């Protein structure tokens, strides 16, 4: 059997450092060559994609989704089947989902179970992160095994005492030490739990239960303080750290200061923190916008865009964690503290970044590629297999039509939910064609891939990107 | 006549964001295609370069040299002929030299004269920067014309009152305004002249004339203060600024702070500030190491390497400004303040950065390419024509042999001087082959190019890299 | 002839560190003893002042007034006669006025002439500061003589190029050196002249001439930058520096940072910067509120009060520099840049600080005494002769009635002008009795002193307060 | 019976803002009057103290001693009898000791028991601070009662988990809230317990047990981080906080930054942190120098002196917590982690501050009085009864002979221990006469007071000094 050869012709290729007009040759599952427009003879290819007027991007990497995850008495709307379908519609060819085990259970066994859930379901490639609930001997012993098994990143929480997920300073020091020894990277959800709990009880005592008090009881300071504490501990036991969903204007200054002192610290923000404000919590459907950290203010949004442009933000993820609207309403009981947290977002990410970022001149096209594809690939051990259009890289490619104008809505997208956080926003651009390892997943804006195509990707961190 | 086709095969290609094994096709003067090793049939090419075991880099850009420049009663050792020859030996395929006009003379006329000097002399491509000596109406009128003529960058000095080159605050505000309006970028030599003059007179009054007092009379604070002042003024009239030869540990913190506040400020350091210390001024031949700003201390070196790795340093230039040793000895008269300033360095730059940076694990290979090729191309309006290996870019390519070990010395290199600042240092790596627009300039470590091949490059700034 | 003995009985004594009920004995011109209420037998005194219900303060020191000073074609409203009368009404028993000499004239001769102007005119004690217009050899030679003559403080300007008063960096370094050697202290008016000039020309070019453009053309940044520059130079040549009329929120942070690094830097603000905003320039009589630096915003006011409470502001002066309203209107010609700058304020200072500071809980009573009496006495070489109620100090005492309520107005006070910057503000408190060296100057709220009583005070700096 | 009248004549009186020659009249237990030298007729007094050549200071306040306190299996060397005797020898007329209750016991009952211990034992006046071990309902309820009972200050620990004294973030937020409501002030021992524990276990695991590892396992960062955390929480629930024994160069910068942002935060350092370095732990008797935080380096000492001169250090206490040397040797078992912590120091404090501070020109005499008498009186609710020489204040007075030269040693002082931390240092100055409430306690350098004279002082905070 011969290898299939494809040609992408006439497009404008966007890498994380360049925008240039050239053609791309795909052989089988990988990119084989680049050439000037017209260099390659179309007749010698099995299929030619006309990319005239389109942007040719590396397939996006979304390093922060929650698929098939039970949460606060509900369950996330996306499993690997529906989630990777939506991801493909959104130009994403690799997702990394979090794998939450029951307290005390083995990280490794959980990994296996997760693999079974994903098996035969995924339209695009995937991996998972571990989640650390403690620093028990079992946990510390399993971390190097996780790393060896291709899962070199895992998250812990500085909050959520009530669901027994809080990692205290003692444990974090142990985990940082093990991380440094194992070649892994620790991801941290940063909100100071004592401040949250103190505020929560105060608001409840005063009968403040409406949605907006979710934001009032989780102030910027709680996030800022928690990030500073992680840095304090990391200065004691130096290991790579990745701050998930930085959402405040101050957070990025704190992280930048640490970076400038040589600390191996990285951070992401999420699409919604760049676009939506806490004012949405003042509406009747405010409970659907509850997430943690909460939506912030325009001042924070401005600071996060700047940090996305010049650093220290290296990644914009979706933190896709939608929950059925009916569950949120029912379980919430009209009280902000009872609503299961989290919003869906895996599909709108590229279009929203293009519309709000590139079209509004806040980031350049190469920076969009850095934030959504190359940097997550580099930081999570996927580069240059993913996040790159160099010869030899996987043929994960998005042909993005930048000029199509449409309205973002739960009705116009394909996520498995009736709620879209960006409902009603007029947007630009949509993926026309998406290839994952040389196979067409989206063709003419529609899903044509097969659910068994996506495979787990083995990840291995590259210290030159992380340290 | 058919276009010549070349193949570079078997090498390891280093871009500013990637290290990967692939082959490169050249057609005529430009890069035509990339492909996986073995994809292209060698027999269909006019010439095949075996790059096995070699690093394939974009041709380096040195944005800071002084060729054919009269200075303090002497004249720089390199003209466009000898300078571009040395540059080629050092893997550099584009140089940008400073064009100093007599006070009151026209910037544009000076540009023409410079062009005549370079005509038929250059082995590699070149451009020039203007130099602003005042903010006269003539100067302000000519700036937009310079920009239109492809010279969108020009330098001013915060010092050198005695040679009438000092630009005061009033003038700088005018120049910044004109720069913002013209789409140019202002380069600034930052040392506070009042502090320098005060220290100079104090040392002289005390009879302190030995070489080391050059450094004592130009303290870190003089540079730091001057940089802060430029930033203060730029906050008044926002325009792109490029700080030349940042040399102190504090300077990079000051610049980073401004960047983090959104100021369009950029900076370079030079090879010698990353490697040599002021202790050399305590030797008998100390006068040959006199440059401004002066060599600093190990503490500064450490800070500059870190800043080269994580920012804000974006470029490492050579500031090649060698002067005949005999002139320096004669004119210096044993007094630090009479020695003409400046050191040669265009040729050793790549090897020194590779030896001291990459081999000592201070910067990665892609970062070496950023600092020496891609970033100077981007910041000075040459990208992606220069500093890039993408299809369509000029075929400026270095095949660098990383494993060859040798000793840096005036005798082992080709600069037009008996003095090498890095004399006696054991180094790794040397350019084996250098192509400039598809023509071989260095072959098997030796100069084979022709002095008329180098052309002036028209430069146009790209605001997405600068603002 | 026997020495007169006075008793101040029943009052609440406020020092800069304490508020306590005790009685004070005066013998001749000095304070002789303190005692508990009732300790001293009233019948053995020549006069007994019933201070029941009154606050007993050390006589205030106003270290920043401009008496008998020609300015921009006009002349200040107060000479030593009318100025010290108003001062006495305002509880001030020592003023320090600026002595401006014609350019090139001798500092010492100017001092003599000034002494003649004051002779036989002053109701309260006085001294002067020198003004340095250059760093000529004459100036540098005279500085130590000024210090020896009891005038150890002198001011320079970083602005006012058009009236030839600008001191550049070179000169300031010379002056700082001479100051360090002479035991003096340099006062600096900080506004960056290049920024001012640039803004001025821009506003004028756009036809913006109304009063508010005075503030627009002298932004916070101009002051902040100028203060930072003085600090930069002082780090080169360490000498005591006193920043006059700090008016911006940022200025106090810059100064505090320098203090915390051990720099001998001090600062004052003025009454009007603590109370009035630039909004007043938007009114028809806005030209009467023109001063330099200009009035700022509420944000600045808030920061200045905090800095007055916890530092680094050590002094609140009046900068009394009123000019006849008619002159301001006439010379101003409806253009902000032609209006002679400066406002009167020597009399309202104590009452305004008490009303806006103490009654609004922004500063404590001891802090009011520090800011207006003890600290200026300490910093300007008058302590403990002035600014103190200790035995041995001059019997300069204010019996301040804190409960009297009245309306501040040109009609209710005694300054030699029809303009009061605080017109119409309802205030608390007024000096009932003021003694200067044991002699009653104000009795029952009315001037009863004699114009020949005030004497020049010899000043000598005490390094323990300054360094 | 008539009230006894005393005269202190001919001395140099030092207050916290002044140094001046005057005489002081004492009537009964309080200061009645001040007068110029010679104003009062010696023949009308019951006793006249000739203070010629002596400094007259307010009696010192030591706000941090541990008398009669069990600790780590031993007990502090000083009880109220021996401790107040040593204090008197050291010029201290008021001590505040910590009252440690067993976990779960009542703060109030403990206060009573403490009062009984002190009854009839004290030579000078005294008070106590509470200690908070938790934020139980009992504790929170008792705090306002403590404040009402004249004990408005109480300490908690961020460390010492093994002795069950660690206060976590949740508890501290509760305690801060109650403190704000009650008008109290929270004192905090700041060392981050997780870092300490982590380092401790690491050193022990490596067999590092010699004395110096006490310092190695309690790094500057542990203290700095803990202080920052207290500030973080205090920004959530604003209440006055007093950081005990700040010992690092960084700590004072962190505290100063918080102060400059308006936080009501205060701090002390202790005599030994200003004089001794950790090098002493490298000696055979190093275990006797073990205290927490540990002794630091010369760099820290330099920073602490500067902060004592210009802020933010407001107080220098002794933290007198000596333990019998035999116990330290025996219980320590040659392992740093087993040695009971703490050093004696109540007596040497004044002489050491005078010798190392005033004589070495690091602080002025008035600043010595601020740091050791006036400020502790102000901050702990004793002012102006204590810490002041104003009429009406308690007649607590030290006649300090500044010129006597002697050698500090356990043999030359009177503490109840064979160990003096400052052994062998040549010093200047010694209290010649000490009065407490008008009664002579030290006369001609010897103890003549009676152990029942000292009384508990009721304390009430004055918000104008604290907020």
Residues on chain B bordering chain A, Cβ-to-Cβ distance under 8 angstroms: 15-18, 20-22, 25, 27, 30, 32-36, 39-40, 253, 256, 259-260, 262, 306, 310-311, 364, 374, 383-384, 388, 390-392, 464
Residue B81 has pLDDT above 60, yes or no: yes
**Interface contact flag, C173 B194, Cβ < 8 Å:** yes
**Minimum CA–CA partner of C263 in chain D:** D310
Tell the residue number behind the tokens 């310092």, with chain if given: D215
Pick from A135, A169, A250 the residue to mutate for testing the D interface (most D CBs within 10 Å).
Answer: A169
Peptide bond into B384 cis (omega under 30): yes
Q: Has residue C41 been placed in a domain?
A: no
Q: Checking phi first, is residue D354 left (phi over 0); if not, alpha (psi -120 to 50) or beta?
A: alpha
pLDDT at A72 over 60: yes
Contact B350, B372 (CB under 8 A): yes
pLDDT for position A1: 54
Element (H, E) at B223: helix B220-236
A 10 A CB-CB count for B285 gives: 14
Tell me, yes or no, whether C136 lies in a domain: yes
- Are C427 and C351 in contact by the 8 Å Cβ rule? The answer is yes
Nearest CA in chain B to A264: B310
Write out chain A residues lying below 8 Å of B34, CB-based: 33-35, 390-391
Q: What does the pLDDT look like over C79-109, one tens digit per residue?
A: 999 999 999 999 999 999 998 878 888 888 8
Most D CBs within 10 Å, among C3, C36, C389, to test the D interface: C36
Instruction: Give the residue among D162, D155, D241 at the shortest CA–CA distance from D196.
Output: D162
Is residue D2 scored above 80 in pLDDT? no
Report, as an integer, the average pLDDT of D282-297. 96
Q: In a 10 Å sphere around its CB, with 0-12 CB exposed, 13-18 middle and 19+ buried, how is residue C1 labelled?
A: exposed
Cβ–Cβ gap A237/D198 under 8 Å: yes
Of B193, B198, B237, which is closest to C236 when you measure between CB atoms? Answer: B198
Averaged confidence pLDDT in chain B: 95
DSSP per residue, C31-88: EEEEEETT-S-GGGSSEEEE-TT-EEEEPEEEEEE--S-EETTEE-S--HHHHHHHHH
Cβ distance C279 to C264 under 8 Å? no
- What pLDDT shows up at residue C18? 83
Give me the percent of chain C exceeding a pLDDT of 70. 100
Give me the pLDDT at residue A215, please. 97
Tally of domains within chain B? 1
Let me know: does B155 contact B98? Beta carbons within 8 Å.
Answer: yes
C189 pLDDT exceeds 90? Answer: yes
Chain C residues touching chain B at CB-CB below 8 Å: 168-170, 172-174, 192-195, 197-199, 221, 225, 228-229, 232-233, 235-237
Compute the distance between CA of residue C317 and CA of residue C61 in angstroms, rounded to an integer: 8
Q: How far is A225 from chain D (nearest CA, A)?
A: 7
Question: Which CATH number characterizes residue C135's domain?
Answer: 3.20.20.140
Mean pLDDT of D267-282: 97
Contact flag C16-D17 (C-beta cutoff 8 Å): yes
Min mean pLDDT across C100-104, C412-416, D76-80, D257-261 is at C100-104
Whether residues B192 and C232 touch (CB distance < 8 A) is answered with yes
Joined tokens for residue D206: 């490596």
Mean per-residue pLDDT for A437-463?
Answer: 96
pLDDT at B369: 97
Question: In a mutagenesis test of the A interface, which of D171, D173, D180, D205 is the best target, namely the one with the most A β-carbons within 10 Å?
Answer: D173
CB contact under 8 A, B33 and A35: yes
Tell me whether residue B54 is in a domain.
no
Predicted local distance difference test score (pLDDT) of residue D361: 86
The confidence score (pLDDT) of residue B318 equals 98
Mean residue pLDDT of chain A comes to 95
Query: D159 to chain A nearest CA, in Å?
Result: 13
Give all chains having 3 or more CB-to-CB distances under 8 Å with chain D: A, C
Give the residue-averaged pLDDT of B196-210.
Answer: 96
Report the residue of A15, A34, A251, A306 to disrupt the B interface, i.e. the one with the largest count of B CBs within 10 Å. A34
| Cα–Cα distance measured from residue B192 to residue B157, given in angstroms and rounded to the nearest whole number | 10
Residue-averaged pLDDT of chain D: 95
DSSP letters, C436-448, are ETTEEEEETTEE-
Q: Which of B170, B194, B221 shows the shortest C-beta gap to C235?
A: B221
Strand-by-strand arrangement of the A313-317 sheet: A60-65, A92-98, A125-131, A153-157, A185-189, A241-243, A265-270, A313-317
Is residue B401 situated within a structural domain? Answer: no
| Chain C residues whose beta carbon lies within 8 Å of the beta carbon of residue D374 | 17
* Complex confidence, ipTM: 0.90
Q: Name every residue in A having a CB less than 8 A away from some CB of D.
A: 168-170, 172-174, 192-195, 197-199, 221, 225, 228-229, 232-233, 235-237
Q: Which of A20, A262, A388 sits opposite B306 (nearest CB)?
A: A262
**Could you give the CA distance from residue D358 to residue D313 in angstroms, rounded to a whole number?**
16
Closest among D275, D246, D215, D269 to D408, alpha carbons compared:
D275
- DSSP category for residue C338: G
In a domain, C137, yes or no: yes
CA distance B22 to chain A (A): 7
Span B274-301, average pLDDT: 97
What does the pLDDT look like over D76-100, one tens digit per residue? 999 999 999 999 999 999 999 998 8
Touching subunits of A (3+ CB pairs, under 8 Å) are B, D
Asked if A17's CB is within 8 angstroms of B30's CB, the reply is no
Question: Mind listing the pLDDT tens digit for each residue in D393-446?
Answer: 999 999 999 999 999 999 999 999 999 999 999 999 999 999 999 999 999 999
A108-117, C133-142, C396-405: lowest mean pLDDT where? A108-117
- A-chain CB neighbours of D172 within 8 Å are 194
Give the range of the structural domain holding residue C187, as residue numbers without chain letter: 59-387
Q: Name the band, by pLDDT with cuts 50, 70 and 90, for residue B1.
A: low
The mean per-residue pLDDT over the stretch A304-316 comes to 93
Q: Which of A35-44, D91-100, D205-214 has the lowest average pLDDT?
A: A35-44
Residue B358 carries which DSSP code? I
Q: DSSP secondary structure string, A404-458?
A: EEEE--TTTS--SSS--TTTT-EEEEEEEEEEETTEEEEETTEE---TT---BPP
Position C1 scores a pLDDT of 54
- Which residue of B260, B311, B357, B368 is the best one to mutate when testing the A interface, meaning the one whose CB has the most A CBs within 10 A? B260
pLDDT of A194 strictly over 80? yes
Read off the pLDDT band of A26 (50, 70, 90).
very high
CB contact under 8 A, B34 and A39: no
Contact call for A32 and B33, based on CB within 8 A? no
C and D touching (3 or more beta-carbon pairs closer than 8 Å): yes
Residue B340: both structure tokens together: 């003409």
Runs of H (alpha helix) within B239-344: 249-260, 298-310, 325-332
Chain center to CA of B466: 17
C-alpha distance from B56 to closest chain A C-alpha (Å)? 14
pLDDT 10s digits, B407-429: 999 999 999 999 999 999 999 99
Is pLDDT above 80 for A442? yes
Question: Rounded to a whole number, what is the distance in Å from the CA of B449 to chain A's nearest CA?
Answer: 27
Q: Do C168 and B229 touch (CB under 8 A)?
A: no
B383 chain-A contacts, CB cut-off 8 A: 18
Using a CB–CB cut-off of 8 Å, the residues of B that contact C are: 168-170, 172-174, 192-195, 197-199, 221, 225, 228-229, 232-233, 235-237
The reported pLDDT for the residue numbered D1 is: 54
Across C309-396, the runs of DSSP E, i.e. the strands, are 313-317
pLDDT over 90 for what percent of chain A?
86
CB D410, CB D419: distance < 8 Å: yes
Q: What is the pLDDT of residues D59-68, one digit of tens each?
A: 999 999 999 9
In a domain, B446, yes or no: no
Residue D36 has pLDDT above 90, yes or no: no
Sign of CA dihedral D294, A258, B296, B410: positive
Closest-CA distance of chain C to residue B194, Å? 5
Check C233 against B195: CB less than 8 A apart. Answer: yes
Report the residue from C173, C193, C199 with minimal CB separation from B198. C173
For D182, the 3-state DSSP assignment is helix
Backbone angles phi, psi at A442, to 5 degrees: -115, 130
Query: Cβ C169–B237 below 8 Å, yes or no?
Result: no
Q: Does a structural domain hold residue B3?
A: no
pLDDT in tens, B259-274: 888 899 999 999 999 9
For C159, half-sphere exposure in the C-beta direction (CA atoms, 13 angstrom radius) is 19
Q: Tell me: the pLDDT tens digits for A73-126? A: 889 999 999 999 999 999 999 999 998 878 888 888 888 888 888 989 999 999
Chain C's closest residue to D39, CA to CA, is: C32
Least confident of A205-209, B305-309, C110-114, C453-457: C110-114
Q: Is residue C144 part of a domain?
A: yes
pLDDT of residue D147: 97
Contact yes or no for A76/A321 (Cβ under 8 A): yes
């Amino acid at each position: 059997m011969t290898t299939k050869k494809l040609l992408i012709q006439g497009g404008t290729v966007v890498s994380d450092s360049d925008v240039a007009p050239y053609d791309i040759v795909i052989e089988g599952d990988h990119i084989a060559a680049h050439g000037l427009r017209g260099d390659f003879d179309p007749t010698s290819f099995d299929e030619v994609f006309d990319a005239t007027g389109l942007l040719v991007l590396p397939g996006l990497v979304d390093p922060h989704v929650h698929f098939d995850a039970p949460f606060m008495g509900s369950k996330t709307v996306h499993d690997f089947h529906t989630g990777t379908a939506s991801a493909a519609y959104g130009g994403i060819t690799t997702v990394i989902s979090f794998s939450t085990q029951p307290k005390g259970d083995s990280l490794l066994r959980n990994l296996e179970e997760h693999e079974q859930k994903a098996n035969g379901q995924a339209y695009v490639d995937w991996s998972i992160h571990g989640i650390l609930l403690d620093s028990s001997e079992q946990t510390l012993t399993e971390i190097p095994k996780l790393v060896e098994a291709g899962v070199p990143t895992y998250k812990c929480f500085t909050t959520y005492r009530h669901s027994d997920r809080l990692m205290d300073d003692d444990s974090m020091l142990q985990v940082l030490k093990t991380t440094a020894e194992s070649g892994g990277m620790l991801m941290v959800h940063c909100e100071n739990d004592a401040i949250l709990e103190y505020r929560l009880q105060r608001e409840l005592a005063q009968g403040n239960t409406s949605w907006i008090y979710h934001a009032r009881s989780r102030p910027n300071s709680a996030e800022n303080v928690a990030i500073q504490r992680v840095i304090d501990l990391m200065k004691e036991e130096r290991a790579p750290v990745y701050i998930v969903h930085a959402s405040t204007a101050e957070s990025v200054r704190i992280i930048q200061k640490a970076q400038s002192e040589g600390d191996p610290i990285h951070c992401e923000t999420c699409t919604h923190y760049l676009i939506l404000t806490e004012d949405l919590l003042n509406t009747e459907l405010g409970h659907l916008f509850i997430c943690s950290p909460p939506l912030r203010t325009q001042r924070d949004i401005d600071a996060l865009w700047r940090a996305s442009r010049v650093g220290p933000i290296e990644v914009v993820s979706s933190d896709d964690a939608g929950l059925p609207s009916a569950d949120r309403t029912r379980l919430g009981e009209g009280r902000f503290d009872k609503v299961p947290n989290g919003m869906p977002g895996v599909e709108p990410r590229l279009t929203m970044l293009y519309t709000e970022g590139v079209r509004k001149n806040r980031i350049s096209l190469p920076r969009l590629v850095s934030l959504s594809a190359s940097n997550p690939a580099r930081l999570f051990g996927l580069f240059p297999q993913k996040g790159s259009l160099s010869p030899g890289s996987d043929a994960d490619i998005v042909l993005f039509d930048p000029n199509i104008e449409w309205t973002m809505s739960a009705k116009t997208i394909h996520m498995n939910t009736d709620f879209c956080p960006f409902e009603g926003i007029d947007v630009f651009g949509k993926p026309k064609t998406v290839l994952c390892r040389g196979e067409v997943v989206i063709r003419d804006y529609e899903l044509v891939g097969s659910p068994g195509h996506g495979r787990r990707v083995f990840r291995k961190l590259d210290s030159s990107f992380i340290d």
